[in-house]
Amino acid sequence: MKAEIISIGTELLLGEITDTNAYYLASQLPPLGIDLLWVTQVGDNLDRLRECLERAWGRSDVVLTTGG
């Protein structure tokens, strides 16, 4: 099973905070037999988020989002 994590927040892109949520989620997937293939960060912009989600849904079985 293929997975992707999408971390949402302009503060991530600006380096104002560390993406600890994606780090934690990534560590929890292998024991479940889920392969994490992509981690994406996107700012607080609805059009860009929609684009990221559509791309993720097309290439992954599991899409996890965090932040926002």
Confidence of residue 2 (pLDDT cuts 50, 70, 90): very high
Is the CB of residue 5 less than 8 Å from the CB of residue 25?
yes
Q: What is the per-residue pLDDT across 12-45, written as a single tens digit (0 to 9) for each?
A: 999 999 999 999 999 999 999 999 999 999 999 9
DSSP code of 22? H
pTM summary value: 0.94
From the list 2, 10, 11, 68, the residue with the least C-alpha distance to 39 is 2
Residue 45 maps to which CATH number? 3.40.980.10
- What burial class does residue 58 get, using C-beta atoms within 10 Å of its C-beta: 0-12 exposed, 13-18 middle, 19+ buried? exposed
Provide the number of structural domains found in the chain. 1
Range of the domain at 61: 2-67
- Which residue from 27, 36, 24, 68 is spatially nearest to 49, judged by alpha carbons? 68
Given a cut of 90, whether residue 68 has pLDDT beyond it is no
Instruction: Please state the rounded mean pLDDT for residues 2-12.
Output: 98
